Structure 1
Amino acid sequence: MKLSPSVSIKQTQTGLEYIEVASSLCNAKIFLQGAQLTQFTPKDQKPLIWVSQDEDYIKGKSIRGGIPICWPWFGVNDKQGWPIHGIARTQVWRAEEVNEKNDHVEISLSLPMIQVSKDYWPHKTGLKVIFKLSKTLSVYLINTNLGDSDISFTQALHTYFPTPDIKTTQVDGLQGSQYIEFGKGPYEQNEIINFASETDMVYNNAPLIQTIKTEDGTISVARENSTSCVLWNPWIDKAQRLSNFQDNEYNKMLCLEAANVKQDTVKLAPGESHTLATIIKWAS
């Protein structure tokens, strides 16, 4: 991969390599493990991405925060012992290309399928992610069916957002959709969402744009090629059981995830492609 003036390759003390972007428009970090973005801060604005202060950046373990890529399944697999949220977020991806222009930096990575156990995924698939970095963050996860039979999968861009106080945070724009929570539902979403307990909502027929209203400002979160999304906060009890997560950090984060899950499962015929996208920016 040929670098540009604003892009460099660095390494943590634990040996994980990451791509660092320091452009006139933003600062960002993208780890090769999991192709996981862990920082995005637009110029003269507050960070748009959250990572736990207890994260230890260990090889083979997904980073607690940023944007983990859940693929080729989301959540717990039906097969006992299979890793939660698939296998892409713990694999080392290949940095493919950097393009720097006046108004953005674009970085692409691909997952070498030779690394993926056929026990988990026996299909011939191309998997690529493109990060477009300006004052807006756009992430495109591209699947291509390279085999000769149909495939289906679920996936998510599991984005962690920061907030000064979850108790005063609201999520607007999901009204009119339906959700399942803790295996129950579907329920109708009729109001703006406030947080007062553990939240684990999986939405279908969701509008394409939501806003997260925090004391630091309003974050706009848009999706493409996705009618489903996930809203999550572990709250007090679950926060104490999570790895790489301080007990009180539930109060400083939430996840709002672009997804293709449940009725929104992706099905691709041979030669077809699908692009899941999330587009994130400060709206105010």
Structure 2
Amino acid sequence: MTTSDSISVSTNQDGLSFINIDNAHATAKVSLFGAHLMSYCPKSDGKERLWVSPHAYLNGEKPIRGGIPLCWPWFGHNHGQEKGTLPSHGFLRTQTWSIANSKDTSEGTELTLLPAFTKAKGFDHKCEVKLVIMIGESLSVSLITTNIDDHEFSIDCALHTYFNVEHIGKTTIDGITGDYEDKTRESAVLTTPTPYFVSEETDRIHFCEAPNITIVEDGVRTTEITSSGNDTIVVWNPWHGAASLSDMDAFGYKHMLCVETTVTQGYGLQPNETHVLTQVISTAK
């Protein structure tokens, strides 16, 4: 394993380990619990791109609220069993990962992380999973799944990114068009609004072709989000529902917006096939 001179590892009082990255292009922070990106701040404008709840659990008891949680091998409760019998969004975000490799290049710092296991209740297939992160002028996150079994299996997955915004009331989304499924309206299929503002509880599965470029503008920062390997983009904000979440302030919804690169329609992975889900977060030019 090669190692990067730009990273250091720290541990909090509850025993969680964090990778801290500081290179010529950006600073970032990754929790090994969940392989969870918690911070990305490009030095070109000094603006933090990710939002983490001040009340997030950082003791390993629950998934971390904010940053970039990993959803795999199902999204939400779409696992074919009764709701509540299996963990929401799968089991990658609640296990401790290991560092397989880290290196510095002219583009930035690259990390490769591996989960402790890929087989658990609800998913009994042989596969290899890794997360590859490149921290540079842009942040690239790739969740990579390879089928090493002798039969096809299906996965859903997501990079469930919480973006930091100055105020949700001043934030616009550009680049998403077409129809979406509205989970707050009994899965009604509606047309994406133009201009696109969030002004209520929002949980929308947008059907789109990949790659897709989405722009989030909040009056302070402009962020470009490039998605590939996905079949949908999910836009989520709990609005007043944040008050019912134990790990989120009642008014936290005003300063975050989830724009998630997702596979929600099921991807059939053939033997020896690899699927790559990637989200690239950039300072818009």
Same-fold call, TM > 0.5? yes
What amino acid is aligned across from residue 234 of structure 1 in structure 2? P
Equivalent residue, structure 1, for 2:253: 250
**Number of aligned positions between the proteins:** 279
Q: In 2, are the aligned partners of 1:48 and 1:281 still within 8 Å (CA)?
A: no
Equivalent residue, structure 2, for 1:5: 5
Equivalent residue, structure 2, for 1:222: 226
Equivalent residue, structure 2, for 1:37: 37
Equivalent residue, structure 1, for 2:123: 121
5 Å-filtered alignment, 1:136-155, equals: 136-155=138-157
- The list of structure 1 runs, each at least 4 consecutive aligned residues, that deviate by more than 6 angstroms after superposition, is none
Equivalent residue, structure 2, for 1:184: 187
Q: In 2, are the aligned partners of 1:206 and 1:229 still within 8 Å (CA)?
A: no
What amino acid is aligned across from residue 200 of structure 2 in structure 1? S
**RMSD, matched Cα:** 1.5
* 186-195 or 84-93, larger mean C-alpha shift: 186-195
Q: Secondary structure of 1:58's partner?
A: coil
Identify which of 86, 90, 93 aligns with 1:89.
93
Offset of residue 104 of structure 1: 0.9
What amino acid is aligned across from residue 151 of structure 2 in structure 1? S
* 2-11 or 222-231, larger mean C-alpha shift: 2-11
What amino acid is aligned across from residue 111 of structure 1 in structure 2? P
5 Å-filtered alignment, 1:266-281, equals: 266-281=267-282
Distance 1:47 1:250 in 2: 17
5 Å-filtered alignment, 1:15-26, equals: 15-26=15-26
What amino acid is aligned across from residue 83 of structure 1 in structure 2? P
Q: In 2, are the aligned partners of 1:60 and 1:91 still within 8 Å (CA)?
A: no
5 Å-filtered alignment, 1:49-88, equals: 49-76=50-77, 77-80=79-82, 81-88=85-92
Q: Secondary structure of 1:186's partner?
A: strand
* 224-233 or 249-258, larger mean C-alpha shift: 224-233
Over the matched positions of the two proteins, sequence identity in percent amounts to 33
Offset of residue 206 of structure 1: 4.8
**Unmatched tracts of structure 2, length 5 or more:** none
Q: TM-score, normalised by structure 1?
A: 0.94
Equivalent residue, structure 2, for 1:159: 161
Distance 2:90 2:143 in 1: 15
**Unmatched tracts of structure 1, length 5 or more:** none
Distance 2:150 2:107 in 1: 40
What amino acid is aligned across from residue 256 of structure 1 in structure 2? V
Distance 1:195 1:213 in 2: 12
